[in-house]
Amino acid sequence: METSEIRRRFLQYFEDRGHTVVPSAPLPSPDPNLLFNVAGMAQFVPYFVGQQTPPYPRATSVQKCVRTLDIDEVGKTTRHGTFFQMNGNFSFGDYFKEKAIEYAWELVTKPQNEGGYGFDESVLYASVYYEDDEAIDLWKRVAGLPDDRIVRLGMKDNFWSMGIPGPCGPCSEILIDRGPEFGADRDWEAGDRYLEFWNLVFMQNIRGEGGGKEGYPILGELPKKNIDTGLGLERVAYLLQGVDNMYEIDEIYPVIEKASELTGRKYGSEHDDDVRFRVVADHVRSALMLIGDGVTPGNEQGGYVLRRLLRRAIRSMRLLGYEDPSLVELLPVSLEQMKKSYPELVTDFGRISQVAYAEEEAFRRTLTAGTTIFDVAVRDTKASGAHQLEGAKAFQLHDTYGFPIDLTVEMAAEQGLNVDTEGFKSLMKEQRERAKADARAKKAGHADTSGYRELREKGVTEFTGYQELATDSQVRGLLRDGAVAPFAEQGETVEVVLEKTPFYAESGGQIADEGLIVGDGLKLNVLDVQRPVKGLIVHRVEILEGVLRPGTDVHAEVDHDWRISACQAHSGTHVVHAALRQVLGPNALQSGSYNKPGYLRLDFAWSSALDPATRSEIEEVANLAVRKDLPVSAQYMTLPEARDWGALALFGETYDEQVRVVEIGGPWSRELCGGTHVKHSSQVGALTVTGESSVGAGVRRIEAFVGMEALHYLGKERALVRLLSENLKTRPEELPAKVADLAERLRAAEKELERVRAAQVLQAAAELANSPKDVFGVQYVGHRAPDGVNGGDLRKLALDVRGRMGNDKPVVVAMLSVNDGKPGVVVALNDTAREWRLKAGDLVRIAAEKLGGRGGGKDDVAQGGGTDPAGADDALSAVEHAIGHQVTG
């Protein structure tokens, strides 16, 4: 039975039994503690914990999931995978244990020709929480299982919770006995013979504080008991398809077959190759699904995971002997299998493939440059007798060549080396501390949402900002540090919830409104507006006057100029997006945006930089749309209706069943959007594109100003052109040629200066070679060159002096200069000095330590540097002392 058919039967079975079929939530998780959804119940958590009222009493879904903790284990075992699908049926206070067991047993054992999975009842077992006698009785009565096929397990194995105080309950699993070839009889721990493939969670209790999977107190029962089940789709697939593991099911194995065809290696013949084949198949499928949900390769969070998956797949193909680009061969194979369950992948494959292929191209360049550096580092490490690659070298590979630390560790292990990961982490920490703090850190909010939930229980905040900028309202409540407070006074900054508000809460790329909330003796400056809990709008305010209390009547008013400019920017974003698609084609889809009054930026799928002519064309198309005074309208409809209508959705966003579609000029621009907009496109005003750049493989960013900000920007450019024209005494239209001529003349002058300076430095070589210092028989030249001599010229000088001194006696030449405030040092030895067992690399490291840095190189010539110019004289003296110590020692 194909995986897509297993999926279809599951959803059909539960839909026929009154369950609402809910589409999978996107892979990126809205939970700040998670990168991706890892369980089928993820999107239903607000219903289980009481944050929201479920819109249906029972539901079913097939949730896309990505597990990131086991990436290193993928391929090494046959049980670890990255992307997987979790079939689930859920009840929110409707049915409970008996129905859950009845549904599961019927679907699992029902003959295939009657719509079930047709498992042989004689090899099925049930595990239960050891104290759950009710579940045991139900398995006997509903499924007819005898005592010897019901297994009692402890809290660690068969009791579920979210790991924090809240809902919890006993579990019951359906297991299948795969036979003695997979393990010993009644061995429940191994997990290979008695394979669990469906877990039924009976959410009936409330737990208290405590860590781990057991040992926390059970405080009582939930007022409404819920059902949360999860059937592993891939596990059922390999059980029904008669293969041994998930890598050999129909959705994954064709990629292995294609990889085998490309590499000429046979799957199943050699363990290391099999691991690589499985890595390729799993990671290609995972990348397909992640990019499909809007994730793009990057150096942070989910983007880093995707980049790592793609690079592991690419490198595994190279280790299998395939040097050409591989994703262009493999990704379409994965698409062919996954489109049966996810047809949207077909329509979006242009964008998906563009992102993936661009990342492979970038990584191939990285491999070429970085592998050379890595090989040198491995050779030097082994030559020194060490067994650990320096953390600094791993950091260089990461920071300069884009090598993920995981790849460096992996490659080092293949060479029999460890990596100083602690040293690497320390350098990464230093880099992060130097980097600019995340501008959005203030949006992180409070981990504890109980205060918000308490206010949300009093009702939904009505948003009036689409129709008006000022609203009479009442304070529903206020929070201080995330906790509900009875009052707040002048000078405090707190959070306020109103009955209704015209203030737009930050979302969809649009920042929050600014303005004032006033009342009798009360004045609040609105600093920020967020939606920490669905249905609740929270204002962060500074109390300028008075005392704030719940129940106070207030007048809330958005800053008029702020909102007008914000509307111009948001509508301008839609206009630029439509212009991009008109000029570049339908694959130039938005993958993220940000807009504030007068400014917008839009990230879109595209693999190459836009030339000036293309940028100008996009700007012209956008401004023509503005000039046409196109009508801007918004209407509500169901999500399927919006998709049928051609409305574009932002990748990775989760939408309600009812969505708002904003239309500009009819079908020219239709997007799902909750933001505020102008009434006609002409109100966007002037629109000028100010920049276009890369923000990751296959993703570009375009920036623009609109309205008065655009006019101000153009005014500044006009003033700059006028100033340059006056200074260069030329007409504006002749400026490009004039500046190009000046730049060329400047380059020629710099080259001549470089030549003269190098000649002056090298002129000193003869004098230095004729006046060495004798250090216990070694002819030593230690010289501080004039400041400003670069490393290349310093090296030339050292080699020239060494060459003039011949090989009759041992010669050590140490040259040092300070360039741009940073000291550099070069040490060169002749053959005779090396016969005396002197090494340039050892000597340069001694010098570099005095300079507050490090160095290294070969035995005959080595180079280093530091950050402390004050140590220059000490560095040359240290080399001299080291020579004497080594010669006399």
Q: Which positions make up the binding site for Zn(2+)?
A: 570, 574, 673, 677
Is residue 885 exposed (0-12), middle (13-18) or buried (19+ Cβ within 10 Å)?
exposed
Report the alpha-carbon distance of residue 599 to residue 689 in Å, rounded: 10
Cα dist. 473→37, 461, 551 in Å?
A: 38, 11, 10
- What residue type is 567 in one-letter code? C
DSSP-assigned letters across all residues of 532-547: EETTEEEEEEEEEES-
Residues near 554 by beta carbon (within 8 Å), at least 6 away in sequence: 472, 473, 474, 475, 498, 517, 518, 519, 522, 524
By C-alpha distance, which of 283, 291, 286, 281 is closest to 698? 291
Q: Tokens for 766, please give them.
A: 């003869």
H or E element, residue 467: none
Rounded to 5 degrees, φ, ψ at 206 are: -120, 130
Rounded to 5 degrees, φ, ψ at 437 are: -60, 145
By C-alpha distance, which of 167, 110, 96, 169 is closest to 138? 96
Residues near 248 by beta carbon (within 8 Å), at least 6 away in sequence: 238, 241, 256
* Torsion angle of C-alpha atoms 526, 532, 536, 539, degrees rounded to 10: -10
Q: Tokens for 300, please give them.
A: 């942070």
Are 851 and 746 within 8 A, CB to CB? no
Rounded to 5 degrees, φ, ψ at 752 are: -65, -45
Task: Answer positive or negative: Cα dihedral of 481, 486, 492, 494.
Answer: positive
Report the alpha-carbon distance of residue 165 to residue 881 in Å, rounded: 66
Collapsing DSSP states into helix, strand and coil, what is residue 504?
A: coil
Pairing state between β 699-706 and 687-696: antiparallel
Burial 158-176 (b: 16+ CB within 10 A, else e): bbbbeebebbbbbbbbbbb
Q: Tokens for 303, please give them.
A: 């983007």
Residue set of the binding site: 570, 574, 673, 677
For the chain, give the number of residues. Answer: 889
Report the alpha-carbon distance of residue 793 to residue 422 in Å, rounded: 36
* Torsion angle of C-alpha atoms 856, 862, 867, 872, degrees rounded to 10: 130
Task: Answer positive or negative: Cα dihedral of 64, 68, 69, 72.
Answer: positive
Report the alpha-carbon distance of residue 232 to residue 199 in Å, rounded: 9
- What residue type is 543 in one-letter code? I
Rounded to 5 degrees, φ, ψ at 686 are: -60, 145
H or E element, residue 444: none
Strand partners, 151: 127
Report the alpha-carbon distance of residue 798 to residue 848 in Å, rounded: 16
Report the alpha-carbon distance of residue 784 to residue 450 in Å, rounded: 67
By C-alpha distance, which of 270, 278, 208, 292 is closest to 245? 278
By C-alpha distance, which of 219, 187, 195, 215 is closest to 206? 219
Collapsing DSSP states into helix, strand and coil, what is residue 643?
A: helix
Residues near 727 by beta carbon (within 8 Å), at least 6 away in sequence: none
H or E element, residue 361: helix 349-383
